Amino acid sequence: MDRIVFSGLGKRYGRQWVLRGVSTAFAAGEVVMVAGPNGSGKTTWIKCLLGLVHATEGTIAVNGRCVGRDPMYRAGIGYMPQYAEFPRELTVDQLLRMMNDIREAPAGGTDDRLIGELGVDALAHKRIGALSGGMRQKVSAVLAFRYRPEVLVLDEPTAGLDPVSATTLLAAVQRAARAGSTVLITSHIMEEVQRLGDRLAYLQDGRLRFALPPDTIIGATGEPALALALPTFLAQQAEQHVEGL
């Protein structure tokens, strides 16, 4: 069974459709890289899934449950925003306890591996206001992975992280996918997309152009890497579209 199903999803702000007719499904254990030009609707799509933006039309189902007013479906979601902000006067330890309380996590029911791997344990008693942007990103990553989510949504997760921490984080993504999590990652870094993604979901002008494995895109163009293959593939698609008319 598909873990996430989008059916005719659309979002309009005023008269402007920023997302239209998005229909696709993602399975358990799948890593989906979401890419597209600026303003293509990536953030709105992700936010619809998270329940932050109310869809104008269409539906989203997570594990067969329709995303609507009932917030409990979000118990199975982990989210790492691009820029993490937390209450500045709390310590990291207090923030982790706050999230534990909200999630009602039983003792020992959390995945704390990333805490040690990213060195967040050393920050436990520091005020969040005293942390650098990169340190806050590490805390944010820990929170996203900690509750063993069925759906993991990461918005530009390696932006602001040092190279070692970025590698650690991407390894955690692969681990989570092997454990059955469906992972959605927005990224402009094509090396990451090629290395991690089972599929690349490409949005343009608010429409989902394709959701294909990176190897299929590379194979269709004959280019050696996805970074080179993607522009060629998009040009091929545009030509086919014109011929179809």
- The residue ranges that bind another protein (CB under 8 A) are 13, 47, 50-54, 71-75, 77, 79, 81, 83-90, 94-95, 97-99, 101-103, 143
What CA–CA distances, in Å, run from 226 to 208, 209, 214, 221, 234? 18, 16, 7, 10, 12
The minimum distance between CB 228 and another protein, in angstroms, equals: 36
- Euclidean distance between CA atoms 187 and 134, whole angstroms: 17
Q: Which is nearer to another protein, 90 or 228 (CB)?
A: 90
Q: Are 184 and 154 in contact (CB under 8 A)?
A: yes
Task: Please name every residue paired with 203 in a beta bridge, in sequence order, or none if there are none.
Answer: 208
Q: CA-CA distances (angstroms) from residue 100 to 160, 223, 227?
A: 25, 47, 40
Cβ 85 to another protein shortest distance, Å: 4
Question: Residue 75 CB, nearest distance to another protein (Å)?
Answer: 4
Q: How far is the CB of 98 from another protein (least distance, A)?
A: 4
Residue 21: count other Cβ atoms within 10 Å of its Cβ: 15
Q: Which is nearer to another protein, 12 or 175 (CB)?
A: 12
Among candidate residues 148, 54, 78, 140, the one with its CA nearest the CA of residue 109:
148
Q: Which is nearer to another protein, 97 or 241 (CB)?
A: 97
Question: Which residue lies nearer to another protein by CB, 155 or 198?
Answer: 155
Strands (E), 28-160: 31-35, 57-62, 65-66, 77-80, 151-155
Closest to another protein by CB, 138 or 199:
138
End-to-end CA distance of the chain: 36
**Least distance (Å) from another protein to the CB of residue 41?**
13
Cβ closest to another protein, residue 66 vs residue 238:
66
CB of 222 to another protein, least distance (A): 41
